[in-house]
């Protein structure tokens, strides 16, 4: 999807702006306004980037890199070749993801490990094959001390029958049981409640989720795609 179309998808996302790091950004207000007017993004922070002459701009559609005069930008990942190809763009998103997840904790469907050592938040879809595979192995994750928390990311978008199905799961009398039924191919009775599936979906978009499952580790790192229990534990431990 082209950048302009991708950015336009989240123009309506409402996220409380964080305090911008303005100390080295002389034209911050003008640059924020230009990006908002041109791209329809919500700018949360602007600060110097690891590349001289560029600002690193955190928006509700991820990180952008913009020239100091605001004339040019690029949208992509920045890597540190001399530091094991560390993804600096992903690192810039990690902290804000943790903060932005907090308001959604009461809406998460939590499969808690008895001997909890780690917590992983998963953007999931009830119809996604690999999401169903992950759910089928829930006991394996829990046995390794990994608690799984679900947020909704209906791949068909909002509104859709897919989103309605996920709304029914979240609003069921027993959401955990309803999720298991839905991921086994069963039909969950339609229901409505105060849970905002659209807000969860838009949150995932702001994190850069473009497929399911998408796993958010405790440090804010996003791991795209399915990982088996033992593999996920290794991934978590390598990110500590």
DSSP string of 40-58?
A: ---EEEEEE-SSTTEEEEE
Q: Is 125 a catalytic residue?
A: yes
Known catalytic membership, residue 131: yes
Q: Spell out the long-range contacts of 85-91 with Cβ–Cβ below 8 A and sequence spacing 24 or more.
A: 88/50, 89/62, 89/63, 90/221, 90/222
DSSP of 85-154: TEEHHHHHHHHHHHHHHGGGGGG-EEE--TT--EEEEEEE-TT-HHHHHHHHTHHHHHHTTEEEEEEE--
155 as an active site residue: the answer is yes
Active site residue 128: yes
Annotated catalytic residue within 125, 132, 149, 171: 125
Of the residues 60, 97, 155, 171, which is catalytic?
A: 155
Active-site residue identified among 97, 131, 132, 149: 131
| Active-site residue list | 125, 128, 131, 155
């Amino acid at each position: 999807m082209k950048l302009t179309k991708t950015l336009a998808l989240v123009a309506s996302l409402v996220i409380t702006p964080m305090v911008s790091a303005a100390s080295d950004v002389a034209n911050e207000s003008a640059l924020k306004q230009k990006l908002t007017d041109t791209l329809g993004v919500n700018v949360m922070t602007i600060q110097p980037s690891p590349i001289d002459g560029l600002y690193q701009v955190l928006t509700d559609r991820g990180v952008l890199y913009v020239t100091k005069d605001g004339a040019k930008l690029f949208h992509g990942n920045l890597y540190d070749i001399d530091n094991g190809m560390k993804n600096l763009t992903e690192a810039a998103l990690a902290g804000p993801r943790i903060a932005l997840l907090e308001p959604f904790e009461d809406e998460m469907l939590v499969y808690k490990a008895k001997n909890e050592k780690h917590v992983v938040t998963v953007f999931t879809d009830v119809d996604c094959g690999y999401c169903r595979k992950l759910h089928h192995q829930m006991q394996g994750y829990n046995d390794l001390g990994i608690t799984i928390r679900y947020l909704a990311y209906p791949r068909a978008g909002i509104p859709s029958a897919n989103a309605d199905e996920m709304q029914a799961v979240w609003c069921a009398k027993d959401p955990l049981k309803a999720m298991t039924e839905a991921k086994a191919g069963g039909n969950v009775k339609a229901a409505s409640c105060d849970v905002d599936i659209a807000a969860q979906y838009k949150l995932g978009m702001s994190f850069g989720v473009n497929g399911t499952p998408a796993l958010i580790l405790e440090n804010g790192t996003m791991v795209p795609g399915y990982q088996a229990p033992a593999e996920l534990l290794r991934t978590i431990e390598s990110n500590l």
